[in-house]
Amino acid sequence: MKILVLGGTKFVGRHLVEAAIARGHTLTLFHRGRTNPGLFSGVETIEGDREHDLDRLADRHWDAVIDTCGYVPRLVGMAARALADAVESYVFISSISVYGTDVAPGTTEKAPVLTLADPTVEVVNGETYGPLKARCEAELEAMLPGRVLSIRPGLIVGPEDPTDRFTYWPHRLARGGEVLAPGDPHQPVQFIDARDLADWIVRMVEARETGVFNATGPDLPLSMEDFLTACREALGSDARFTWVDEAFLRERGVRPFSDLPLLLAKESAGFSAIDSRKAQAAGLRTRPLAETVRDTAAWVGDAPWEGRLAGMSPQREREVLLAWDKAKQSQGV
């Protein structure tokens, strides 16, 4: 197949390109040339900005376009209009954030999505990201009815992840010692290896699938304790877990998900229990967790964690652990 990729050189995009190449497809990349511009030297690349340079894609035809970097409905709509007669299907990488974080466990694709009070908002931040993705989906379906495949991944992880979420844990457990384990050990956690997501999306393109699919994992329920234990075993670590109460962490200004990745506030636990059975029925499979953990640890290496986008520095972790130990001693625990 001939596939146009909007983006394609960063994290999920690069894994999508690698998966498509491995499956024998002919690719064209359209991006600004700012991130890893020479990554795929043997692949046709057209440099441009979707707001100003979509005319560079004129008079061409592809079987599908995969939009890896659409966030603003106006700009996604511009791409849809420009490509309406150039592609058979439009694949949009959305997010389970369209549901918000206060959803019930088992949320399916039929659940309502977030909206913005002001439809002209184009600033992408923590509050607008989900609603904007939802509007992008709606914009595409309105313009290309029956031709859109909207993928709603959960937390995407693995090698090349630029967010430091998830990556913190393999890096931290590889170091061993006493580890601050956050909140309720039984809290569910979900994520998907970018390579599994990419391979599945390419196969969905091949099958000319359309519709909306939640796409997170693993295949079976996983708790925070299960996850940390699996990390420890995969890395052969001597890590010892000290479980610290969520309320205590909040009192000390520890931020869920950013300071301690995968930790969600209790009222948001359903966000880590999204129903992806529709995608699984369509062939989504996740590799063994140990493989993702080892590959992520090998990719990130053993450089100091200070300055990363998410996770705790060793000093901050030690401070919180000491405070927790002192609090327990004062309570006679």
Residue 332 Cα to chain centre, angstroms: 42
Residues 6+ apart with CB under 8 A from 164: 261, 308, 309, 310, 311
Would you call 10 helix, strand, or coil by DSSP? coil
* Mean pLDDT across 153-166: 96
pLDDT in tens, 80-134: 999 999 999 999 999 999 999 999 999 999 999 999 999 899 999 999 999 999 9
pLDDT in tens, 230-286: 999 999 999 999 999 999 999 999 999 899 999 988 888 899 999 999 999 999 999
From residue 313, alpha-carbon distances to 181, 218, 228, 241 in Å are: 14, 28, 18, 17
Residues 6+ apart with CB under 8 A from 98: 113, 114, 130, 131, 133, 134, 137, 152
pLDDT in tens, 180-221: 999 999 999 999 999 999 999 999 999 999 999 999 999 889
Residues 6+ apart with CB under 8 A from 35: 9, 10
Domains of the chain by range and CATH?
2-158+193-215 (3.40.50.720), 168-189+220-272+288-325 (3.90.25)
Nearest to 295 by CA among 229, 196, 205, 218: 196
In contact, 114 and 134? CB cutoff 8 Å: yes
